[in-house]
Amino acid sequence: MTMLVRRVVLAALLLTLLGQGMMGPRPSLAASPPLYSVEASVEYGAGLVTARETVAFTNLSSQTLESLVFNVTPAYYGAFELRRAAVNALEVEQMLDGSILELPLPHPLPPGASVVASLDFKIVVPRQGGRFGRGPQVMALGNWLPLLAVYRDGRLLSEGQERGWVRGQYVDVGDAFFSQTADFLVTLRSDQPLSVAHTGDLVKQEDTVWAFEARGVRDFALALSPDFSVVSQEVEGVDVAVFYLPGHEAIASTYLRAAVETLAWMKQKLIPYPYRHLHLAEINAINSGTVGQEYPSLILASDGMAATYGGLDSSGGILAIHETAHQWYYGIIGNDQLYEPWVDEALVTWLSYHLLRAKGLGSFAGIWQDRVANPRPPSLPVNSSIYDYPSDGPYFSVVYRRGALFLEELYQSMGEEPFFAALKEYSASFSGRVANPYALLDAMQAHTSTNLNHLIRRYFSYPRYQADEPLRVSARYPLQDWSEAVRITLESDVPLQEVQVFVDDSLYSRALPAHVFLETAQLEEGPHLLTLRVSDGQREVDLTGTFSVVRRPPPPPPAALPTPAPTLEAALETPDEEIVGNPTEADDPAAQASVVRTAAGIALVTISIAALAASLVRHI
């Protein structure tokens, strides 16, 4: 079946789930991200930041909430002083436990309801290098804002996990932060002129006042310095800029080239980069260490890297490639960085070396051998958490290197095309969302006839992949019946027991495999994620796809209908379609054509729904 028809079908999946245990309507994540409004003042020389952060939050979980939970990284450093906390303008008592801040809600917040919380706080930026601190030349404000924790529910609730706010304390291993995407409006005032590298877009600047807007990002970070120079280059509509310290021209041009080439390569191999800017800023190192740190549309790289300039395969080049690839894995496609950090780190590690190979650099083999493939003693499973490690050394060894070794075996076993087809589909499905770790592994298995369980269980301890054979299921839905309710037919060689149907992050129904229905009426307009978690009683597999709800006004009288109806009929005559991802490459010229055709298809489908509804009314 052509991509066109598939997209028409997916667009036509206008869901509400019937089946057993249907639940009420719920806003989609895409429609209601948290909105952070921040007014911040910086006293640069004194290292002080005072701020008011206001967060508009909608409860997208299935549970009534009694409190809001924030991650406050500065509290880990003893740098955070909360002056006032309020919910819907009522001052509330706060509880700060380590880096976890909890605000009790004056009234319980049911699913779908919204609340506005505000925090007035002061940060005494510690005198230290690294991603949060002030060194001799740079103030790095990574993880400075209190961010809502992720509420683990529905699709994000894996076996053995508890429903509720993820209360992972900040630790000094890995990247101990985990958040959903949100919108940020930030105003920054400084007591002196500064150069500012930032997440998102600079929408206004007057002297030492900056206004930023960042939509669909997991965090908002800054690097401030009176000493930055900037070198930049535009690549396919994205402005890539490197903010560097005096005398560091060589590493700046290394970073710029690596970031530009990675951005173009990732975009071509996977999915588009959705932001207009990518900034890379040097920061002062901790103990002259070499550190790179990813934030949405902002990369921080320590000045300890200054001498590592060169080509893409220099240490500086590889660092910039790694952090740019994080823009996708962690940034655009989120994962639980506390308990499943391999999902982004292993992927980004493997991709950064694979890019050298893909570019034909002869140094690839030696670099891979030195940095990744060196034999290491047996260790923890790749799916261990940041809390399983005392320090970064053993953590890198397992999560980054063994994780990358797994992906290399997977790549060799699947081959280039199926491997990247699976990765692209996974990326498109979870763009702007959080993926669970099964999603990536199941997407890979869905794209190969090779049994991957043997490989997966050599590296991972997930119970789901311990069986000798994976559970293979495909999901189809008949096109002819979608007008009232779409029935999903599951096909498998073995009897199936149960299907959990998730729309976006929420569990919508549990159904018998023979009774999975989807209907249109109660979902919000816009893109949605569909996950079918299928079990045969012993084994489980996740099938993932995306669809868009599009509503149109009622059609004009039949005589005025446009003529391209045959296209729709052609679609309707086509047999069942498998549920797979719906990658959209709006920037790719070839894909642009199909996006346009898809839009036409959506209009047609919608008109037909209305026409059919009218005829049903007449029958009744």
Could you list the residues that contact Zn ion (CB under 5 A)? 345
Taking CA 210 as the corner, what is the angle to CA 294 and CA 189, rounded to the nearest 5 degrees? Answer: 100
d(CA 198, CA 190): 14
Nearer to Zn ion, 437 or 545 (CB): 437
For residue 345, the minimal CB distance to Zn ion (Å) is 5
For residue 297, the minimal CB distance to Zn ion (Å) is 16
Nearer to Zn ion, 13 or 405 (CB): 405
Nearer to Zn ion, 345 or 585 (CB): 345
Nearer to Zn ion, 98 or 394 (CB): 394
For residue 275, the minimal CB distance to Zn ion (Å) is 19
Q: Could you tell me which of 609, 620, 478, 614 has the C-alpha nearest to residue 549?
A: 609
Query: Would you state the structure tokens that stand for residue 307, as one six-digit string?
Result: 């001498």
> The tokens 């290399």 sit on which residue?
408
Nearer to Zn ion, 324 or 431 (CB): 324
What residues have CB less than 8 Å from 238, skipping those under 6 apart? 263, 273, 275, 276, 277, 278
For residue 168, the minimal CB distance to Zn ion (Å) is 18
d(CA 260, CA 92): 47
Query: Would you state the structure tokens that stand for residue 604, as one six-digit string?
Result: 């047609």
d(CA 418, CA 72): 41
d(CA 248, CA 506): 49
For residue 326, the minimal CB distance to Zn ion (Å) is 6
Nearer to Zn ion, 392 or 588 (CB): 392
Nearer to Zn ion, 285 or 452 (CB): 285
- Please state the φ and ψ torsions of residue 313, each to the nearest 5 degrees: -90, 10
For residue 404, the minimal CB distance to Zn ion (Å) is 11
For residue 330, the minimal CB distance to Zn ion (Å) is 8
Query: Which helix (H) or strand (E) covers residue 213, if one does?
Result: strand 209-217
For residue 325, the minimal CB distance to Zn ion (Å) is 8
For residue 407, the minimal CB distance to Zn ion (Å) is 14
- Contact 465/569 with Cβ under 8 angstroms? no
For residue 175, the minimal CB distance to Zn ion (Å) is 7
- Contact 151/68 with Cβ under 8 angstroms? no
Nearer to Zn ion, 261 or 345 (CB): 345
Residue 18's Cα: distance from chain center in Å? Answer: 29
- Contact 145/82 with Cβ under 8 angstroms? no
Nearer to Zn ion, 153 or 345 (CB): 345
Nearer to Zn ion, 57 or 295 (CB): 295
Nearer to Zn ion, 170 or 508 (CB): 170
Nearer to Zn ion, 282 or 345 (CB): 345
> Is the torsion defined by CA of 547, 552, 556, 560 positive or negative?
negative
DSSP E strands: which ranges in 125-200?
A: 132-134, 139-141, 147-148, 151-152, 164-165, 182-190, 195-198
For residue 349, the minimal CB distance to Zn ion (Å) is 7
Beta strands 139-141 and 132-134, pairing class: antiparallel
- For 48-52, which contacts have Cβ atoms below 8 Å and span 24 or more sequence positions? 48/122, 48/123, 48/124, 48/125, 49/122, 49/123, 49/125, 49/141, 49/144, 50/120, 50/121, 50/122, 50/123, 51/120, 51/121, 51/122, 51/123, 51/145, 52/118, 52/119, 52/120
For residue 341, the minimal CB distance to Zn ion (Å) is 9
Query: Which helix (H) or strand (E) covers residue 439, if one does?
Result: helix 437-446
Q: Could you tell me which of 149, 110, 111 has the C-alpha nearest to residue 28?
A: 111
Nearer to Zn ion, 184 or 350 (CB): 350
For residue 300, the minimal CB distance to Zn ion (Å) is 12
- Please state the φ and ψ torsions of residue 602, each to the nearest 5 degrees: -60, -45
> The tokens 């790179």 sit on which residue?
292
Query: Would you state the structure tokens that stand for residue 586, as one six-digit string?
Result: 């709006």
Which amino acid, residue 271?
I
